[in-house]
């Protein structure tokens, strides 16, 4: 799995470098929120857009990871409670049979 991940990272880096080198032109005017930038290289815009997308996906992945870990923690507590109840029930029947004799 790690080798596949490394290959994928190299492929994405290669693609990004190729696209950047093919778009070395400049953009006359770029509006970003409330600012305007003039004579900006297109490669910079591509890299910034890529990084913004990476950041966005990372935030959503982190939120999903936190939710999953919370669910796992909750299920572990529930499992421990059920195991304790099962142990109590097993011991209950053993104690009851010992008292009948």
How many CB atoms neighbour CB 19 within 10 A? 14
- Provide the strand spans (E) within 19-67: 26-32, 35-41
Cα–Cα distances (Å) from 73 to 31, 67, 84, in that order, read: 45, 10, 17
* pLDDT tens per residue across all 101 residues of the chain: 678 888 888 888 888 888 878 777 887 888 877 888 888 888 888 888 888 998 999 999 999 999 999 999 999 999 999 999 998 888 876 776 666 65
Tell me the C-alpha distance between 4 and 9, whole Å.
9
- Residues 40, 26: contact at Cβ < 8 Å? yes
Task: Report yes or no on whether pTM surpasses 0.85.
Answer: no
Q: How far is CA 79 from the centre of its chain?
A: 26
Tokens of 98: 């010992």
Domain limits, the chain: 2-100
């Amino acid at each position: 799995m790690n080798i596949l991940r490394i290959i994928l990272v190299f492929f994405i880096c290669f693609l990004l470098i190729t696209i950047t080198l093919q778009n070395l032109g400049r953009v006359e005017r770029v509006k970003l929120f409330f600012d305007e930038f003039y004579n900006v290289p297109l490669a910079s815009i591509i890299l910034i857009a890529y990084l913004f997308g990476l950041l966005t996906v990372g935030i959503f992945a982190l939120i999903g990871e936190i939710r999953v870990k919370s669910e796992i923690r909750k299920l572990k507590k529930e499992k421990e409670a059920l195991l304790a109840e099962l142990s109590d029930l097993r011991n209950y029947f053993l104690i009851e049979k010992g008292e009948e004799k």
